Amino acid sequence: MVQKIAPTPDLLIASRPRQRCRQGLALALLYLVFATLVAVSSYKLSSLANTTIFMGLNIATYTSNKFSIPITVLLQGSTNLALSASLPFDAKLSLSTLVYAQCGKRNTTCANGFQSTSNQLWGHVAKALALVPRFDDPRFQDPTQTVTIQHINNMSGWNKPTAQISIAGHDMAITCMVKRATFYLASAPPSTAEVDSIAFCSLRKYDSNWVCENDADLDANTYAIRASHGKATYLGVAPRSDVYLNPGYLATFRNGASTMRLTTLTFFDEYERGILRTLAPWDVLPAASCATLNLDTGLGWLLHTQGLVTMVWESDALMLTNSVVLWLLTVYLVALQLVFLRHSVVCCVPVYMSKTVVDLAIVFVSFYGNANLQTLTTYLIKRPSAETPAYYKWLGPAQLASIVGITTGPLIQMWFNPRLVTQTWLLLVCSVGNWMLVFVLEAFVFPDMSKTVPGPCGHATSSNCFSFDAIARTSYLSGVAASGVVFLAILCVYAHSAYAASVHSSDVVPMTNSVLEYLEIPDFSSVLTSPYGVLVTTEDGRVGVDNGVLLVKNMLQVSDAALTRTSNVQYELLYRFLPTTWLRTIFSRAIGSIRIVAIEKNRILHRSSYKYLDEMALTQREFSPYYS
């Protein structure tokens, strides 16, 4: 039957293909950018993982970089104490008892059972104020006075017990917070240092709405009181500035029985069962605020403090080797596109990758280890430090987004295999869209969704154990969102193919086209999703078929005279870049003869033969981008 060839509209056939690069090369270069981002981010993440990284000065305030004390159950109590009354001191108790007290989540029975112990220990701190010479307010040393002690404790096992000591009708109060510290006599070497829990107390205005606040002026006197081994001891006094907003400073406490040197300990905080740990000398004494405390969520007991932070991020799913393999593979495929398919609509990258398991393996490994990346990203966004490069927090999102971007096209192509997806523009749009979607989710949306809450510990030596409460569900949500884009793209390919077929129903490729003859098919419906994007106008006005379509059969044109299998193309590619004829000849003989299909005047011939590389006219830089 003779088929009528209708005039081909401009939207159907691309003209003058020799004079411009087309969609295939644009998509290939985009994938090269993605692969480079994957390689660079993986390399940098590998340098951060499983080693100590000094992050610099970390400043936590009430409004930014918030440090919320983990609360399992809140213990709040109040008691009255006559300073003249005797108060027994159980030798088994100490201020460390307050620090290490622990109850289960919302276990109010456990917390209430600790109430009397808290009252007793804070009572000894209040009575110890009488030991301070030249105290700021002697009324708190008057044995005829009765003081009211309000106290609070977070009961998580590493606590910040705090109290306000006040006198009825008096406008001043004493606030104390118990912290662990190391101290030794100024006349003794540091090797003699002891570690214990110390109550640091200062005078401030009485607060009738007090919950946990202990802030004071930087020049306010801060008194150190130790209560252990059945007695309370006054260690000395120092300006608040020596122990607050001054991490790592060796403070001198005077006016006690002996002059003491005192400094903070190195505290270990961990996140997500030890995926990320920080160690830092924080301020000996932070300031606290409960203005935003929410008893339902247990959040809002905030600290204003500084620390010199070192981070350890543990990860065993960094894919450095995989990312290098992916980058090398992409570079190779882009080189093929540049040399052999520069003017083609078809991109060889998704076609080749859809026939391997490389992309699926990398996507699986990426999302399997995404909780580690999200932990790092969320921590760096929520707890920024002065000397931490700002781009660190983008490394995880950039890596995952680029992996998703570079595998979007292959996954769409995989769905339609063995047919070739010719809607390259759609692959490009969806790849960019998926990259943007995943990056925004991982870099902005998911970190903001997570709140820092008490969590299980992965290391016995950790001081505080936190979890980011959203990571358990957000670690895979990017995959769900990206899969939705891929699914939508597949539907768009079907819809566009059906639309193009209905619009151009009268436009057909003649049966005499050499591609149809070579493939022995009556039309392209069995090998292409739509032929209408790969047709070109030949120089004599006939219909030509883009030479990238034969990738569907693993064939590629390497010169005006030769068509060969893609498994041989690496030899032809390397041959082109050899600098001298002598080297090309040696290389050609070393490889041996390769089977090729002959091409003549843009037509594929039903003739194959074996030729050496130097017999294929491979040094010809430009050849026809279509078959007639």
Average pLDDT over residues 154-162: 95
Is the pLDDT at 34 greater than 80? The verdict is yes
Is the pLDDT at 320 greater than 90? The verdict is no
Query: Is the pLDDT higher at 17 or at 508?
Result: 508
pLDDT at 380: 96
Structure tokens that stand for 184 in this block: 């030794």
pLDDT in tens, 120-130: 999 999 999 99
CA distance 442 to 444: 6
How far, in Å, are 282, 297, 372, 396, 476 from residue 65 at the CA level? 15, 19, 21, 20, 26
CA distance 123 to 111: 18
Query: Is the pLDDT higher at 622 or at 48?
Result: 48
Nearest to 544 by CA among 4, 2, 8: 8
CA distance 142 to 140: 6
How far, in Å, are 81, 92, 236 from residue 230 at the CA level? 18, 7, 19
Residue 10 banded pLDDT, cuts 50, 70, 90: very low
Comparing 450-454, 501-505, 543-547, which segment has the lowest mean pLDDT? 501-505
Stretch (H or E) spanning 474: helix 471-474
Q: Tell me if 251 sits within 8 A of 244, measured CB to CB.
A: no
pLDDT at 11: 40
Helix (H, G, I), strand (E, B) or coil at 128: helix
Task: Provide the edge-to-edge strand list for the sheet that holds 543-546.
Answer: 13-14, 535-537, 543-546, 626-627
Structure tokens that stand for 421 in this block: 């997806």
pLDDT at 508: 74
Structure tokens that stand for 533 in this block: 């994007």
pLDDT at 535: 83
pLDDT at 230: 92
Nearest to 207 by CA among 166, 238, 178, 245: 166
Neighbours of 53 (CB within 10 A): 18
pLDDT at 622: 64
pLDDT in tens, 359-417: 888 898 899 989 999 999 999 999 999 889 999 999 999 999 999 999 999 999 999 99
Nearest to 478 by CA among 410, 395, 409, 402: 402
Helix (H, G, I), strand (E, B) or coil at 261: strand
Helix (H, G, I), strand (E, B) or coil at 451: coil
Is the pLDDT at 189 greater than 50? The verdict is yes
CA distance 469 to 477: 14
pLDDT at 17: 42
How far, in Å, are 278, 464, 616 from residue 455 at the CA level? 15, 9, 67
> For 376, phi and psi rounded to 5 degrees?
-65, -50
Q: Tell me if 293 sits within 8 A of 449, measured CB to CB.
A: no
Amino acid at 62: Y
Owner of token pair 């500084």: 306
Bin 593: left if φ > 0, else alpha if -120 < ψ < 50, else beta: beta
Residue 4 banded pLDDT, cuts 50, 70, 90: very low
CA distance 45 to 58: 21
- pTM score, whole prediction: 0.89
What average pLDDT does the chain have?
Answer: 92
Is the pLDDT at 165 greater than 80? The verdict is yes
Residue 153 banded pLDDT, cuts 50, 70, 90: very high
Pairing of strands 67-68, 302-313: antiparallel
Nearest to 304 by CA among 495, 408, 160: 160
How far, in Å, are 75, 118, 149 from residue 109 at the CA level? 10, 15, 21
Long-range contacts (CB closer than 8 Å, 24 or more residues apart) made by 85-90: 87/120, 87/123, 87/124, 87/127, 88/120, 89/120, 89/124, 89/227, 89/230, 89/231, 89/232, 90/120, 90/230
Structure tokens that stand for 571 in this block: 């030899």
Is the pLDDT at 13 greater than 80? The verdict is no
Average pLDDT over residues 536-564: 86
Is the pLDDT at 12 greater than 80? The verdict is no
Average pLDDT over residues 198-219: 97
pLDDT in tens, 210-226: 999 999 999 999 999 99
Helix (H, G, I), strand (E, B) or coil at 200: strand
Task: Provide the edge-to-edge strand list for the sheet that holds 555-559.
Answer: 555-559, 562-565, 594-600, 603-611
Longest dimension (CA), the chain: 119
Query: Is the pLDDT higher at 343 or at 319?
Result: 343
Comparing 88-102, 422-436, 611-625, which segment has the lowest mean pLDDT? 611-625
Is the pLDDT at 514 greater than 70? The verdict is yes
How crowded is the C-beta side of 249, counted as CA atoms within 13 Å? 17
Average pLDDT over residues 342-350: 94
Stretch (H or E) spanning 276: strand 276-281
CA distance 592 to 372: 49
pLDDT in tens, 465-495: 999 999 999 999 999 999 999 999 999 999 9
DSSP state of 419: S
pLDDT at 2: 32
CA distance 69 to 46: 31
CA distance 250 to 514: 86
Q: Please, what sign has the CA dihedral across residues 557, 563, 568, 574?
A: negative
Residue 539 banded pLDDT, cuts 50, 70, 90: confident
Helices assigned H by DSSP within 475-547? 477-503, 514-519
pLDDT at 9: 41
Stretch (H or E) spanning 235: strand 231-239
Helices assigned H by DSSP within 354-423? 358-368, 370-382, 392-416
Nearest to 236 by CA among 201, 286, 283: 201
The strand pairing partners of 251, in sequence order, are 262
Amino acid at 417: N
Residue 506 banded pLDDT, cuts 50, 70, 90: low
Average pLDDT over residues 33-42: 97
Whole-angstrom Cα Rg for the chain: 37
Is the pLDDT at 20 greater than 60? The verdict is no
CA distance 136 to 204: 10
Average pLDDT over residues 520-529: 91
